[in-house]
Structure 1
Amino acid sequence: MYWFYLIAFVVLGYWVLTDGNGMFGTQPEIEYSTFKEQLRSDNVERVHIQGNRIDGIFRTEQKLQLTDSDTTSYKNFITVIPSFGDERLTDLLEENDVIISAEADSDGFWWYFLVFSMPLFFLLLIGWMFYRRMQMQGRGMFNIGKSQAKLQEPGKNKTTFDDIAGMDGAKTELREIIEFLKDPSRFEEIGAKLPKGVLLMGPPGTGKTLLARAVAGEAEVPFYTITGSDFMEMFVGVGAKRVREMFKQAKEKSPAIIFIDEIDSIGRKRGAGLGGGHDEREQTLNQLLSELDGFEPSENVIVMAATNRPDILDKALLRPGRFDRQISVDLPSQNSRLEILKIHARNKSIDESVDLKKIASSTPGFSGADLENLLNEASLYAGRNKRKKIIMDDIENARDKIMMGLEREGMQIDDEEKRILAYHEAGHAIVAAALPNSDPLHKVSVIPRGKAMGITMQLPEKEKYLYNKEYLLDRMAVIMGGRAAEQLIFNTATSGAQNDLMQVAKLSRKMVVEWGMSEKFGHLAFGGDEEDVFLGRDMTRQKSYSDSTAREIDQEVQVISQEAYDRALKILKENKEAFDKLAELLIEKEEVSGEEVLSLMKDDSE
């Protein structure tokens, strides 16, 4: 688009300066003597004189030989008055009744100036366009060593702790940081030092970045934000220079906060990679460590960082004097989920029948970001069904989509496969309903969602932070219910149990190797696996037990898995009538609630 305008401007300027093809149209240049001859012959109708140039029109067309091969008739002409002048020219023009017009020679200066300045203007325009493109990209040659941190001035950040639900422990720790920033002298009088850094650790979506913004909003200080990857560049030394620039800017505006998101991208353990200890990432980390340790107490600059992989961070980052405070930001509890839902529901049109408390209890393991997404998906469901308010069914559908995946519409399943699938899911559901230590059954479905052909959904009544042996054994029996159902009804095994078998193998191995829940090994854990954070697990794993012990562990894992299968098979045989009824109900309705399953079990026992 820029090139089009530029070319149009040049063409238009040339046309204006030359007046198309001249003042009087197409004009050949003739000798002055020829002009005088035509003038004496009374064949000149009008002339326009500018300086020593004459543009004119003949009364009748004249054949003029301009070149050896060009003899053409022209009515317009151009000629130039000789440098010595012609004093009688005006008299001759008047004697022959020629119409005369004239303009000063100096008036054409600006036209010539424009013509000759156009190339310079063209080059300047190209340079300006190139400079603007470099600025927009932000990573051009002019910005290669500059800090990429974005500054939020005090007052522009409106986020406070009122916008954050739960996380009371983290808020308490961070309020001390805010008080330090607001009135550092009060703490310095009693010998307290300003914390150098705060590391926020927790799973993705738990609100680590939101907490950092809230600290800046509460303290009303300049807030610099940057991600760990923004330090890295293809040029050696750029990352370290950007770290220096960022801290220099923050010190000039102290008190201030620097927030580094995803610090694990530059803060990984040094010396673990294949490239040794001289790569660009490690130079950047070394500079960051130097800046953290080089703070003066009066500078009042606090560094906050967030990561969901604290296990791979370099130990030098975590020592006192650098990241003094390490705050764990965990997944919200049930009460916290309720408060988070209330915050996200402020700007949503929700029907009065919606029970947010029930939603909070039915979403264990959801992060704050997941809960926000839940209500957003529910609003999309409501809009799709042309409702003006979100109802409970919308939220239920949104939760099922998030937890189990999108429903695969149009998928054709033949009757035999559907029957196998119904008995498989019914096997999970009957075992879950029969065992006392399993989570309450919410629903069972044979509607394909995501990668699963069917699903049995259980929802815990409360948060679980510790898992006892009885719960884990019941959990594995529920998982084995699908494979046991296939064997009992069809005397075969299908590939649909692949994920079930992997879960049981993982749980049983953890019980034996890590949690000391094996009858054979007793209260003994075989931990101590060390893996390189760059080379991966399989290449560097070091086992803390012998090969013979490994064989015994495999045997014990097999025993636990077989016992889970035998328990599931026994329960299905004992509840065969309810089992068959549930499978037929699933074939008919495709989805059955947990209450209906419990009702079938109760009728069978009577």
Structure 2
Amino acid sequence: MNLRNIMVWAILLVLLVALFNILQGPRPAAQTNELTYTQFMDNVEAGRVREVTIEGQSITGELSGGQAFRTEVPADARVTDALRQNNVQITARAPAEGGMNLFGILLSWFPMLLLIGVWIFFMRQMQGGGKGAMGFGKSKAKLLTEKTGRVTFDDVAGIDEAKEELSEIVEFLKDPSKFQRLGGKIPKGALLIGPPGTGKTLTARAVAGEAGVPFFTISGSDFVEMFVGVGASRVRDMFEQAKKNAPCIIFIDEIDAVGRSRGAGLGGGNDEREQTLNQLLVEMDGFEANEGIILIAATNRPDVLDPALLRPGRFDRQVVVPNPDITGREKILKVHMRNVPLAADVDPKVIARGTPGFSGADLANLVNEAALLAARRNRRLVSMAEFEEAKDKVMMGPERRSMVMGEKEKTLTAYHEAGHAIVALKVPAADPVHKATIIPRGRALGMVMQLPEGDKLSMTHQEMTSRLAIMMGGRIAEELKFGKDNVTSGAASDIQQATRLARAMVTQWGFSEELGPIDYADNQGDVFLGQQLVQQSRTVSAETAAKIEREVKGLVEGGLNEARRILTEYNKDWEAIAQGLLEYETLSGEEITDLLNGKPPVRNTDIPASGEGPTTPDSAVPVIDDEDEDEVSAPGGMEPRPGPA
């Protein structure tokens, strides 16, 4: 609130206090007796009058008993002589001038002037752009002119297709005649669709920054209020402001808050949210054309939007902003690394390979975590070791070096993880092993990570069966090393993941010769029957269910047998990896290869033993996350970040 508003409110407060005092009336004085002239003269002659005050024809005074009196005397009466003869103290005052003075006039008109002033104040507030007492019907959209902190397409990476779709909007805002000469009309709206953190809002700002036009931003929830009609009023006011600044861009974030399908909730057509949506539809494509106004909206729930919003003439284009691929992740990392001092060993491409499924926000968080870790270690540059640990922390949680593991649990974990690693090295189709560790992280007591060469959009049957064998490698390692009676619950997460994969192979992907390429999945999704949403599910016969269970069990046991064969055949290599883990706790893929070739790992003593892992500039994605710490309690474990399957 500025000084002007404070002064206005202070004046109003003073006026209200004055009005209250006026309406309150004069304070009651001591009771005054009205005497006739005869009574007054009788009291004077009797000596009962102590003092008087003469003001024209009016006399006030006090009797000897203390009573106040007042009387009027005739003009020709000579009362002063009588008063002097009876020793009365006399005070004379000039009579008041006739008529009402200026102060009296203002005082009499004060209530009316006050009402006029209050009316003018509220009228100005209603016209003051929506920030006054009556401005709840005004738009809350913020105007960004991008004079400072301007965002362009150079600041947005990893979504080249989306930028290409939106580049036409930028060209239209810069040169509308280029399209109008051929009769083309620029899309009135673009809907950005994608999971959280992919950069939808940043992309919209980049469009405004590239075009150099005003940028109005507002959230979908800012339209909806308790009062019916307020949201529609804000929509009208927002477009009125946009017309004054055209050409411009209006960006509505999380439009699903106001754009949900009509008729599905309570209240019918009088619902505030539906009234707001109706007004938005009219403003986008109604009788009045809004030339030069481009509406960009973002949502991660396109399935709940009203169909009228998505028709041509409103949101003409639906631009998908997905999670970036490996090339996109590399570009995004380079954007976020601009202001971070990097060591010479940092390779964004390697980090990008090890972060499948990461969104732009995840990658920004990874870079920030690495910088914080380097600062905590008093480093001047952020090295690959910090990025390695930051990535593992974001994906699986911080290391738990304070957790005390007994020698028995440590040995069992080492052989368990070595079993995973040796099977991953020897199966026909698997990603290269990047790291094996027995340092607890999150809920896992140890893990083996594999680094894919690139993003995978599909998996072959051979890759799936190889993965089943890798998952079973830990369980078979415990059985071969310590005996069946000493097998623990550490493979609970491995068994769960293997069962899910095998069941999907049988019921969804048609990898069963007996059942054939038929979809037997339990949940078939939701479908609309008229206006009613119905959950569709498929139930199979008892005979088919038994066949599915036999096929799933056969696939898992096939992986189990393959893991047993590899561990038996390559027993010495398995022992070497397990002993290396017991000694070094963490082994990189290169160090595992050196161990199998008889070379001990070479460690850089300059890096402190605080969980930085290997010194090689690699990055990894966990595919085996096992050795659940609940070995003596309920089984379960942390599931790795799902990548493309």
TM-score computed with the length of structure 2 as normaliser? 0.66
> C-alpha deviations, 1:476-531, integer Å up to 9, x for none?
32223223333333325433333323322332333233333333333333467233
1:289 to 265, 276, 281: 281
Q: What does residue 588 of structure 1 align with?
A: 583
More displaced stretch, 343-352 vs 555-564: 555-564
- Structure 2 counterpart SS, 1:442: strand
Matched, 1:563 2:548: no
Is it true that 1:573 corresponds to 2:568 in the alignment?
Answer: yes
- The answer as to whether partners of 1:231 and 1:238 remain within 8 angstroms in 2 is yes
Q: Write the deviation string for residues 369-406 of structure 1: whole angstroms up to 9, x where unpaired.
A: 22222222222122111121122222222222222211
Kept in 2, the 8 Å contact 1:513–1:553? The answer is: yes
Please say if 1:300 is aligned against 2:311. Answer: no
Instruction: Give the match for residue 505 of structure 1.
Output: 499
Measured in 2, the distance between the counterparts of 1:225 and 1:485 equals: 58
Pair 1:461 & 2:453 matched: yes
Deviates more, 1:245-254 or 1:193-202: 245-254
Q: Return closer, same or farther for 1:280/1:586 CA change in 2, 3 Å cut-off.
A: farther
In structure 1, give the amino acid aligned to 2:578. Answer: A
Which residue is 1:448 aligned to?
A: 440
Following the alignment from structure 1 to structure 2, what is the Cα–Cα distance between the partners of residues 159 and 302?
18
Query: 2:143 — aligned with what?
Result: 151
1:174 alignment partner in structure 2: 166
Equivalent residue for 2:403?
411
2-structure distance, mates of 1:278, 1:597: 69
**CA pair 210-189 structure 1, distance change in 2 beyond 3 A:** same
Partner of 2:66: none
Choose which of 238, 243, 257 in structure 2 pairs with 1:251.
Answer: 243
Q: 1:435 to 1:240 in 2, by over 3 A?
A: farther
Q: Could you tell me how far 1:213 is from its partner in structure 2?
A: 0.4
Give the corresponding residue for 1:334: 326
The answer to whether the 8 A contact 2:414-2:582 is kept is yes
Question: Could you report, residue by residue, the CA deviation over 1:205-247 in whole angstroms, capped at 9, with x for unpaired residues?
Answer: 2222111100001112221212233333344444444333333
- The 5 Å alignment of 1:371-386 reads 371-386=363-378
Q: Residues of 2 paired with 1:290 and 1:196: CA distance?
A: 13
SS in structure 1 at match of 2:515: coil
Map 1:327-366; keep pairs closer than 5 Å: 327-366=319-358
Counterpart-to-counterpart distance in 2, 1:387 and 1:201: 40
Asked if 1 retains the 8 angstrom alpha-carbon contact of 2:577 and 2:595, the reply is yes
Q: What secondary structure does 2:225 align onto?
A: coil
In the alignment, the residues of structure 1 paired with residue 134 and residue 569 of structure 2 have an alpha-carbon distance, to the nearest angstrom, of: 77
Structure 2 counterpart of 1:41: none
Listed as ranges, the matches of 1:132-143 within 5 Å are 142-143=134-135
* Offset of residue 603 of structure 1: 6.3
Q: What residue number does 1:61 align with?
A: none
1:319 paired residue number: 311
3-state SS of 1:148 partner: coil
1:485 aligns to 2:477 (yes or no): yes
CA deviation after TM superposition for structure 1 residue 187, in Å: 1.7
Contact map agreement 1:157 1:216 (CA 8 A) in 2: no
Match in the other structure for 2:21: none
From 537, 541, 551, the counterpart of 2:535: 541
**Cα drift, residue 160 of structure 1:** 0.9
Pair 1:420-2:412 in alignment: yes
1:242-276 per-position Cα deviation (integer Å, ceiling 9, x unaligned): 33333333233222212122233344445556888
Residue pair 1:484, 1:568 contacting (<8 A) in 2 also:
yes
Partner of 1:28: none
2: CA distance, partners of 1:140 / 1:407:
53
In the alignment, the residues of structure 2 paired with residue 458 and residue 233 of structure 1 have an alpha-carbon distance, to the nearest angstrom, of 51
Amino acid at match of 2:170: I
Structure 2 CA distance, aligned partners of 1:83 and 1:355? Answer: 109
Amino acid at match of 2:333: L
Change (3 A) 1:415 1:542: same
Which residue in the other structure is 2:390 paired with?
398
Identify the residue that residue 12 of structure 2 maps to in structure 1: none
Q: Which residue of 2 aligns with 1:524?
A: 518
Unaligned runs of 5+ in 2: 1-88, 95-102, 104-116, 600-645
SS in 2 for 1:542: strand
Tell whether the 8 Å contact from 1:340 to 1:371 is kept in structure 2 after alignment: yes
1:27 corresponds to: none
Deviations 1:354-382 (CA, angstroms, capped at 9, x unpaired): 33333333333333222222222222122
Q: Is the 8 A contact 1:196 1:295 kept in 2?
A: no
* Counterpart for residue 200 of structure 2: 208
Q: Which residue of 2 aligns with 1:119?
A: none
Residue 156 of structure 1 deviates from its aligned partner by: 4.8
Residue 189 (structure 2) pairs with residue 194 (structure 1): no
TM superposition shift of 1:85:
5.5
2:172 corresponds to which letter in structure 1?
F
Distance of aligned partners of 1:550 and 1:194 in 2 relative to their CA distance in 1, 3 Å threshold:
farther
Q: 1:514 aligns with which of 499, 508, 513?
A: 508
Q: 1:389 to 1:509 in 2, by over 3 A?
A: same
- The 8 Å contact of residues 353 and 454 in structure 2, kept in 1 or not, is answered as yes
Partner of 1:220: 212
Aligned letter for 1:380?
L
Q: Give the TM-score normalised by structure 1.
A: 0.70
* Amino acid in structure 2 at the alignment position of 1:200: L
Contact 1:340 1:368 (8 Å CA) reproduced? yes
Tell me the distance in 2 between the aligned counterparts of 1:293 and 1:526.
Answer: 45
Distance, in Å, in 2 between the alignment partners of 1:184 and 1:243 is: 25
Instruction: Give 1:22's aligned residue.
Output: none
1:194 touches 1:297 (CA, 8 Å); kept in 2? Answer: no
Q: CA deviation at 1:332?
A: 2.5
Query: Relative to 1, partners in 2 of residues 1:163 and 1:494: Cα closer, same or farther, differing over 3 Å?
Result: same
For 2:365 and 2:249, the matched residues in 1 are separated by 29
CA deviation map 1:395-454 (0-9, x unaligned)? 222222222211123112222222222222222212211123211111011111122222
Does the 8 Å contact 2:369/2:390 carry over to 1?
A: yes
Q: Which amino acid aligns with 1:325?
A: R
Q: Percent identity?
A: 53
Amino acid across the alignment from 2:393: K
SS at match of 2:524: coil
Aligned length: 491
Residue 91 of structure 2: aligned partner = 84
Query: Within 2, Cα distance between the matches of 1:169 and 1:307?
Result: 18
SS in 1 for 2:222: helix
User: Which residue is 1:101 aligned to?
Assistant: none
Return the structure number with greater helix share. 1
How far apart are the structure 2 equivalents of 1:512 and 1:295? 56
CA distance in 2, matches of 1:224, 1:83: 81
Aligned partner of 1:42 in structure 2 is none
SS of residue in 2 equivalent to 1:331: coil
Q: How does 1:46-195 map to 2 (within 5 A)?
A: 84=91, 142-153=134-145, 155-156=147-148, 158-195=150-187
Q: Is the 8 A contact 1:157 1:217 kept in 2?
A: no
Q: For the residues of structure 2 that align with 1:511 and 1:140, how far apart are their CA atoms?
A: 63
SS in 2 for 1:522: coil
Could you say which residue in structure 1 is the equivalent of 2:47?
none
The AA in structure 2 aligned to 1:408 is: R
- Counterpart position of 2:53: none
Letter paired with 1:597: I
Amino acid at match of 1:265: A
Which deviates further from its counterpart, 566-575 or 270-279? 270-279
Match of 1:342, SS state, is helix
SS in 2 for 1:199: strand
86 and 313 in structure 1: CA distance in 2 versus 1, 3 angstrom threshold = closer
1:268-300 per-position Cα deviation (integer Å, ceiling 9, x unaligned): 445556888875544444443343332755522
> C-alpha separation between the residues in 1 aligned to 2:375 and 2:477?
41
Checking the alignment, whether the CA contact within 8 Å between 1:264 and 1:313 is kept in structure 2 is yes
Give 1:92's aligned residue: none
